[in-house]
Structure 1
Amino acid sequence: MSEMCPCGALLGESLMPREMAEEGIFSNLLEILMSASSEIEQACKDSNESVDLDTCLLLTAECFRCLRNACVECAKNQHVMRNLGLISTSVHLIKLLHGIQMKEELLLTALRCSLQFLGNIAAGNRDSQNSIWKCAFPDLFLTCLTYNDEKIVAYCCMILFTCLNSEKVRELLDPGNLTVAFHVLKVYKEQLESEWSFLIVTDHLLKCPELVKALYAKLSNQERVTLLELIMVNVNEKNPVTSEEVNVLMTHADFLAGCFQENCEAVLKLTSAADAEDEEALVTIRLLDVLCEMTSNNGQIEHLQSLPGLLETAIDTLRLTHIAGKQAVNIFTATHAMTGQEEISHPAVGFKSHLIRLIGNLCYKNKKNQDKVYELDGIPLILDNCSIDDNNPFVNQWAVYAIRNLTEHNERNQELIAQMEEKGLADNSALESMGLEIEKRDDKLILRSVRKKPS
């Protein structure tokens, strides 16, 4: 079976006839499309004008099919078509087609084929991409991204992805053009199978921190959650290798840490069952998830550990949620009543676990942050959250991780925990479950790691 290009044209065995096409063929097709444009334009201006739109649309679609197939992986034909002016003619015709007040299949087919042609003439051809951008941006993209047809939207995203580069992404920063980025994100949210919209965001938009900031400011809380989920995917899948990629990630981290610090208390709205789906709180939860992933990467952790206020915010938020869970029964109340069969679907499940994880990450081999947690009375707080809690899966494991990072080469933190255990302020069984024990040496209490005995 022959390989197919993204727009459906056959490759391989049909390549030679395509290469042999003469310029006259494309000139004839151009004339037909220009004639069709004139007739459609006249019909739009004068509703009394007798124009056979069905035949016109059918002919237009067939012309674009021919052009679409002729320029697949054929630089010669792409060059000829571009020089003839087929790109500008096509963009003009697409705008006319959009203005026709009908939603019949013939119109949709003509629109789809026209966009497929633009996608194929742009593929691998920078000159064609620049020409399309000059003729089509932003109006054509705004029109097609909001069209009530999934295929037209998908083909539009394909063209946009193909044409974008770092310079063109920066053009999206213009307030009038930012709407294009907004609609791409909306397409991804509403059409999760749209691979092109996903690639536009992850491969282009997220590489411009200024654009991410500008877009984030314009989004609703629900849309911010979608953007943060895409950032999470990007952080998980890509390890930056160039200094530019590292700088981009650091700028994202600075911005998202600032957003978390500003909005962290919104999560307390979730103590009310009526606000279980509060969108501002959901943004806070997703911000924390992204920061946990970012601080788990050894390549960037030192920068993130030095961000002003982030560690203090994490400790303060842990304290607030811990107090809220003790004052009344809510999602932040520690519970161990499940049989193992149930699942809690509340969005704040695991929130305190992730706060402890973030604190542990920020203290990894960092004496300054270890001491800061001591000064903020964060160690007793973490120890008070280390018991099994169905609302916070793996909280014990993250507490182990955090305590070990807090006590590594830090005698003052070790001594504090040892004194707490001696005074009964720390649960010895909890310490044992962490693989830690208190030992007295020369009237000094030492916290040390022990091997667990096999059960």
Structure 2
Amino acid sequence: MAAAAAAAGEMAEAAARLRRLTAAEPSTRLESVRALTGLFRQAQPREMAEESLFRDLLEILMSASNEIEQACKDSSELLDLDTCLVLIAECFRCLRNACVQCAKNQHVMRNLGLIATSVHLIKLLDGMKVKEEPLLIAFRCSLQFLGNIAAGNGDSQNSIWKCAFPDLFLTCLTYSDEKIVAYCCMVLFTCLNSEKVKELLDPGNLSVALHIIKVYKEQLESEWSLLIVTDYLLQCPELVKALYAKLSNQERVTLLELIMARVSEKNSFTSEEMNVFMRHADFLAGCFQEKCKAVLKLTSAADAEDEEALVTIRLLDILCEMTSNNGQLKYLQTLPDLLETAIDTLRLTHLAGKQTVNIFTTTHSMTWQEEISHPAVGFKAHLIRLIGNLCYKNKENQDKVSRKFENLTNATLFDK
């Protein structure tokens, strides 16, 4: 009881001090906001916070916005920018802390309009020419606040989506500061759901999903971008197809590796997840059939890093993995042209290896360095694996293979 009374007393004193100083200079208001930030690290003061306190913080942020706008319009306006930015950052820290596991405060802040005000202020910060540390810190704290007010709160998530999608997300995903990009991914992940993912299919919004792939590729330590891809983007086959068409070959390899990791998981899949995977399988099989001959470029050492060929190799890897799963295997076995494409590609790689000594030559003696670095190592073996999987317990496919090779002996096709 004594601790609760003391916390209530501290809260009342800090709130009253802030109210008295809302019109004071930024440096004076800063200490009062810092005191509240510290108090909101504890659950009890968060629960005790009254609406008037958040209204005061909103007033400070709106005043700071007006000052920045005025200074940007009139260069003769005097503004202690660093102090103003430090105050903005502290206000967002305070609001961020007040949201933690406190739905009451989240609702109060949203109803006061703090989400819209924050998004407006972020746009102002982005438009400022000075990109020094005080501005970056304020920018980061604003995104952390949006992440916390959205956490576990559907109404706040919808409000942020309405205010920030897609423009603000695009701005932050392409920002030069890695922390801002990471915090933006956190906010985006928190706000997404299966319905909002469908909005990414709109041609004007697809850039958001494209930039998520780019972020993951360039910042592999970004956990939030990975979660967005695995938990949302990969759950929408139409979106994967649209993304694939727009990505560079390097980015396609990244996307395919993420699909491969998901397919390789040993967890059992629900019927809905299996349906998604079968639609992925259909699309990826079509991509492989279209581009499989690109691997023949790898007969030249100079083309060992050919990006289109590397994409084809990844496609084959995924198809091998998918045909190792009974649920996806049965579907892939019914695709009319996949088996024939695999057989024809195997024949072409074999012939390419006989024409000159190259990576497809069965007698080609590679150095240890070539063994571990050449992307085509194992390609023929994977083709044979795919063909074998497609024939597994499938008499029709077995007969197709027999007919295809009726004029060829095993010694001719698979000589060592």
Smaller-chain TM-score bracket:
0.7 to 0.9
Give CA-to-partner distance per residue, 1:42-67, whole Å, 9 cap, x none: 12222222222111101000000000
Aligned residue for 1:300?
A: 328
User: 8 Å contact 1:295–1:301 — kept in the other structure?
Assistant: yes
Aligned residue for 1:51?
A: 79
Q: Distance in 1 between matches of 2:227 and 2:415?
A: 42
Flag the 1:278–1:79 CA change in 2: closer, same or farther, 3 A.
Answer: same
User: 8 Å contact 1:315–1:359 — kept in the other structure?
Assistant: yes
Aligned residue for 1:36?
A: 64
Aligned residue for 2:10?
A: none
Displacement, 1:380?
A: 5.1
Alignment partner of 2:321: what SS?
A: helix
User: 8 Å contact 2:347–2:413 — kept in the other structure?
Assistant: no
User: 8 Å contact 2:40–2:46 — kept in the other structure?
Assistant: no
Displacement, 1:340?
A: 6.8
Matching of residues 141-290 of structure 1 within 5 Å: 141-237=169-265, 239=267, 241-290=269-318
Alignment partner of 1:213: what SS?
A: helix
Aligned residue for 1:347?
A: 375
1:128 and 2:156 equivalent? yes
Alignment partner of 1:81: what SS?
A: helix
Aligned residue for 2:138?
A: 110
Letter in 2 for 1:102: V
Alignment partner of 2:372: what SS?
A: coil
Q: Percent identity?
A: 80
Give the unaligned 5+ runs of structure 1: 1-8, 389-455
Letter in 2 for 1:314: A
TM-score (norm 2): 0.87
Letter in 2 for 1:262: E
The one of 340, 359, 365 aligned to 1:312: 340
Displacement, 1:387?
A: 6.5
Displacement, 1:381?
A: 6.5
Displacement, 1:337?
A: 3.9
Q: Distance in 2 between matches of 1:258 and 1:10?
A: 57
1:65 and 2:93 equivalent? yes
Flag the 1:341–1:47 CA change in 2: closer, same or farther, 3 A.
Answer: closer
Alignment partner of 1:299: what SS?
A: helix
CA-atom RMSD, angstroms?
Answer: 2.1
User: 8 Å contact 1:221–1:280 — kept in the other structure?
Assistant: yes
Q: Distance in 2 between matches of 1:127 and 1:116?
A: 17
The one of 45, 51, 56 aligned to 1:17: 45
Aligned residue for 1:26?
A: 54
The one of 319, 325, 335 aligned to 1:291: 319
Aligned residue for 1:79?
A: 107
Alignment partner of 1:300: what SS?
A: helix
Aligned residue for 1:335?
A: 363
Displacement, 1:342?
A: 7.3
Letter in 1 for 2:123: K
User: 8 Å contact 1:319–1:381 — kept in the other structure?
Assistant: no
Letter in 2 for 1:46: D
User: 8 Å contact 1:269–1:278 — kept in the other structure?
Assistant: yes
Alignment partner of 2:357: what SS?
A: coil
Aligned residue for 1:362?
A: 390
User: 8 Å contact 1:157–1:197 — kept in the other structure?
Assistant: yes
Alignment partner of 2:327: what SS?
A: coil
Q: Distance in 2 between matches of 1:279 and 1:381?
A: 34
User: 8 Å contact 1:373–1:379 — kept in the other structure?
Assistant: no
1:98 and 2:126 equivalent? yes
Letter in 1 for 2:91: C
User: 8 Å contact 1:356–1:382 — kept in the other structure?
Assistant: no
Alignment partner of 2:373: what SS?
A: coil
More helix by share: 2
Flag the 1:64–1:12 CA change in 2: closer, same or farther, 3 A.
Answer: closer
Give the unaligned 5+ runs of structure 2: 1-36
Q: Distance in 1 between matches of 2:39 and 2:234?
A: 33
Give the paired residue count.
380
Q: Distance in 2 between matches of 1:320 and 1:78?
A: 63
TM-score (norm 1): 0.80
Alignment partner of 1:173: what SS?
A: coil
Q: Distance in 1 between matches of 2:407 and 2:382?
A: 16
